[in-house]
Structure 1
C-alpha cells in the first residue's frame, strides 16, 4: 500500500489541481497559466519528497512540462485560450531551455573540473593532510575543522564553488569510516550546511545579501563592516548549533580517525598547472568583481585550461555528475515559472500582512521566505520578496519599536539563505546529495531545524543590535 501511495499521490494531486475551476483557489486573479504552474510545483514537491522517480528525473520532467504547458512553443492544444482574460502570460521557450545552460550550471561545471583535477593529481589528499592536521583525530573536531574552513571561504566566494572544493578534500576523510557508520552522513552533510551558513557573514557572501543592500539606503544604510558586525556573530552561533546538531543526530561510531594521509605534492608540469589554476581560480573568486569578472565567468577558466592541456580528457568527462546539473536546472526552471508567471507574487500579495501585529508580520514574512527558499532559488526568492518587504516596512509604523524596515529586510534576507532542507534547495545541497552519502530525509531533518532556529535567532540578534545602535 505504501509503495502504491508513493506513486499515486504525486500524480493524483497535481491532476486534481489542473481540473479544478479557477474560482476554487483562494487567490484573486489567478490565471490558467498560473494554475498549471501550481500543478507543476506540487508535482515537483511531491516527487522530491516521495521519490517515486530519481530526483534528477523530476527536474527533467519539470522542464518538459513547462515547455509543453506554459511556454509559447508548447502544445497547440494548451494554447487555444491564449489571449483570453483569464489565460495569463506564457513563458518564452528559450528561457526555459536556457536553464540547462544557466550561469549557475557553468559554476557547477567549473567546480566539477576543479574537483576532478584535484583528485586526479592528489591535490585534495594533500590539502586534507595540511588543513586538517591541527584538528587532531577526534571525528567531531575534524568535522569542526572542515566546517570552519568551509564557512570562512563561503563568506568571500561562491558557496557552490566552496562546497565543490571542500567535498573534494572530504573524499579521503569519508573513506576512513565504515560503510554504515553515521559519520559518513555527518561529514558529507556538514560541508553544505557550513557553506550555506557562512555565506550570510558578509554582504558579498550570497546574492540575497547583495539584494538586501539595494533597499538599505539613506537612514537604513549598512556598511560592509556593520553587516559583518551582526553577520559574523550570527554565523558563529549558527555554525556551533549546526555542529552540535549534526553530531547529535549522526554521531560517528568510530571514535578516532587515523588520518594517515601520506604523500607529497606532485611536481610534474600538469600537476603544477593544476595547482596554479586551482589557486588562480580561488583568488579570482575571492577578489569578487574587482577584476571585472563574476564568479560564473571565472568558473569557466579551469574548464578551458584543463581541457586545453589534456588534464581533463574525454574519459574524465564521463565521470561528471550530469544528474546533479539536471537537478539544479529543474530548480532554476521551477523558480523561473513561479517568478515570470507572477504566481509567487500573487501568493505573497494574497497574505494580508497589515492586518497582523508587527511580530506576526516579522515571523510570518520570514517563515514564508524560508518555505519559498526551500523550493526555488534563494536569489529569486529575495528578488521577489525584498521590494514588498521594503514597502511594508516603510508603511507599518508599528514595526518601528522592533527596528522597522531594516529589521524586516534583514530577517527576511537571512531566511532566504536558511532554506536548505532539500537537495534542490541550494547548489551546495545538491552537490552533497550527489556524493551518495546523504539521503533527502536526513538533509531535511537538519535543514528544517536549522532554518527555524536560524530565523528566530536572526530576529533576536538584529533587534538587539538595533537596540544598542549598531544597526538602524
Structure 2
C-alpha cells in the first residue's frame, strides 16, 4: 500500500521521465534529422496531452531540443516564436484588455440582456449572443469569466426570491393546519426549484458553448485559427487568400447556425419547449414563475456602471476603425493599394489601433479644466498583468515543430505514408478528420490538439493533392467545438469550477452539439467554402509544397 501511494504521489515525475525514455530509440539508434524531429514532436505532444508540465513551459522544449539535435539553429527556432501572426494575436489581446479595462464588454453584455428579455429561454439566448459576439473579438477566458459572474448574480437573486416565497408558503400552511398535503403554490415552488437547478446548468453551459463557437467567427477569435493559417503559410506559402474579411465571410454564417441550434437544444433540454409534454419528458416546461425579477436584477447591475464614459466611447471608436481597416485593406479600392504589394498584413491595422490606445487620452482633455494629467486608455503595467504571455510559448512551439518537420524531411516521409488515402473521396476524408479531432479535443486541451494534429492534416492534404484549406479550416473549427469535458478548454474548466455542473451534464448535452457543429462546418466548407476559397480544386499556391515520391535523408555531421 505504501509503495502504491508513493507511486501515485510521484506519478507526475514518473510520466515526466518515462515519455522521453520511451521514445529514446529514435535519436539513439536511427540518428537522422527525421528521427530527431519525430522525437521532439512525440515528447512535446505527450507532455501537452498529459499536462505533466504547464503548457507554456512545455512550449519551450522545441527551442531547447531542436538546436541541440541540429535540426534548426537557435536563430531559426527563435524566429518562430514571434512571427507576423504572433504580433496579430498580441495586438488583439492588448485591444481586448482596453475593452476590459473600460468595462465596455460588461456594458454591452448587460444591455443585450435587457433588450432581448428575461424569460428563461430568452435569458439563455441573451447570454449566448453576448458571449459569442464578445468571444469573436476578446479572450474567451475573459468573456466567460465575466458572463459567469453576471449569470451567478442573477441566479442568486432568483434563488433568494424562491426561498422567501417558500418560507411564506410554509407559514401560511401551518396557520391552516394542513401541512400534510401540498398546495398548488407549494407544487409550483417545487417545480421552480427543479427549474432553477436546470436553469443554472443551462446558463453555465450556454456561456461555455457560445464562447467556444464565437471563437470560430474571426481570424483572431481563437489562437487555433491563427495556428491553422500559419501552417498553410509555412507549408504552401502566401497566396491562399485567407484574411480577416474572407474568414468572416466564410465562418460567420456557420457560427450563427451553430449558435442557434445550441440555443434550441439547451432550451429544450433544460427549460422545456411545452410542445408535446405527454410524449417527451424534455418538452415539459419546468419553470412556472414569470421571472419578472430578473429584469430588475440586470437593470440594477447596468445602473452601477453609471453613464457611458468617454473612455468607453473611445475604445468602441477604435474598435470600429480597426474592423473597417481589416475589411477594406485588400479591396481593389482599399487603403492597402497605397503601399507596396505584400508588405502589409492584417497585423498592420491591429498595431495601429494598439499604439493609439497607448497614447489616446482616457478622459476629455477639457473635462478637468487642466487640473488633471491626461492619462492614456492603456498603460503598460495593466497590459503586462492581463495579457496571457504563456500563449506565445505555446503557439511558437507549434510553429517551430512545423518548421522542423519541413526542414528535416519528416514531412516528406509522412506524406508518402499518407498517399494510401489518395483514392478515398475527399468529402469523406474531411468529414472523418474533423469528427475525429472533435472527439480527441474533448479529452486533451484543444490548443494541444491543434498543435499536434493540424500539421499532419496539412501534410495529408498536400500528399493527396487536396486543397489544404479544405481540410484545415473544418478541423481547426472542430478543435473549438470542445463541449463535452472540463479538460477540453479553459472555458469549460471555468464553468465547471462553479460546482453546479457534473461531468455527465456536460457529456449529455455536449455530445449532440459536437456532432451537429461538425456537420454544419462540413456543409459550410463544401458550399460556402467552395465559392470563397475554391476548396475542391488543388490551387497553384500549394504546388510548391507538393511532396516528392522519394527523398534523401538529411544526416547530421555526426552520422558521416
TM category, shorter:
0.5 to 0.7
Instruction: Please state how far the C-alpha of 1:21 moved relative to its aligned partner.
Output: 0.6
Aligned residue in 1 for 2:263: 243
Aligned residue in 2 for 1:392: 464
Aligned residue in 2 for 1:309: 375
Aligned residue in 2 for 1:175: 153
Change in Cα spacing, 1:362 to 1:12, as seen in structure 2 (3 Å) is same
Equivalent residue in structure 2 for 1:287, among 311, 324, 338: 324
- In structure 2, how many angstroms separate the alpha carbons of the residues matched to 1:384 and 1:313? 41
Taking structure 2 as the reference length, the TM-score comes to: 0.56
Instruction: Please state how far the C-alpha of 1:42 moved relative to its aligned partner.
Output: 0.7
- In structure 1, how many angstroms separate the alpha carbons of the residues matched to 2:471 and 2:137? 20
Q: Would the aligned equivalents of 1:150 and 1:166 in 2 still touch at CA under 8 Å?
A: yes
Instruction: Please state how far the C-alpha of 1:429 moved relative to its aligned partner.
Output: 5.4
SS in 2 for 1:32: helix
Correspondence list, 1:152-191, <5 A:
159-160=137-138, 164=142, 168=146, 171-178=149-156, 181-183=200-202, 185-191=204-210
Change in Cα spacing, 1:363 to 1:242, as seen in structure 2 (3 Å) is same
Q: Would the aligned equivalents of 2:250 and 2:532 in 1 still touch at CA under 8 Å?
A: no
Aligned residue in 2 for 1:18: 20
Aligned residue in 2 for 1:413: 473
Flag structure 2 segments of 5+ consecutive residues without an equivalent. Answer: 160-196, 273-285, 330-334, 337-347, 363-373, 537-560
- In structure 1, how many angstroms separate the alpha carbons of the residues matched to 2:313 and 2:45? 44
Equivalent residue in structure 2 for 1:37, among 34, 37, 41: 41
Correspondence list, 1:362-381, <5 A:
362-367=430-435, 374-376=446-448
Q: Would the aligned equivalents of 2:16 and 2:47 in 1 still touch at CA under 8 Å?
A: yes
Equivalent residue in structure 1 for 2:72, among 89, 96, 112: 89
In the TM superposition, what whole-angstrom CA distance separates every residue of 1:375-411 from its partner, at most 9, and x where no partner exists? 35969976875575266345xxxxxxxxxx5xx7435
Q: Would the aligned equivalents of 2:231 and 2:402 in 1 still touch at CA under 8 Å?
A: no
Aligned residue in 1 for 2:166: none
- In structure 1, how many angstroms separate the alpha carbons of the residues matched to 2:378 and 2:309? 14
- In structure 2, how many angstroms separate the alpha carbons of the residues matched to 1:410 and 1:32? 30
- In structure 2, how many angstroms separate the alpha carbons of the residues matched to 1:25 and 1:355? 32
Q: Would the aligned equivalents of 1:44 and 1:62 in 2 still touch at CA under 8 Å?
A: yes
Aligned residue in 2 for 1:402: none
Aligned residue in 2 for 1:114: 99
Q: Would the aligned equivalents of 1:208 and 1:417 in 2 still touch at CA under 8 Å?
A: no
- Structure with bigger gyration radius: 2
Taking structure 1 as the reference length, the TM-score comes to: 0.64
- In structure 1, how many angstroms separate the alpha carbons of the residues matched to 2:431 and 2:349? 34
Change in Cα spacing, 1:197 to 1:143, as seen in structure 2 (3 Å) is farther
Pairing 1:128–2:112 present: no
- In structure 2, how many angstroms separate the alpha carbons of the residues matched to 1:469 and 1:300? 33
Change in Cα spacing, 1:364 to 1:449, as seen in structure 2 (3 Å) is same
Flag structure 1 segments of 5+ consecutive residues without an equivalent. Answer: 73-78, 395-404
- In structure 1, how many angstroms separate the alpha carbons of the residues matched to 2:318 and 2:452? 26
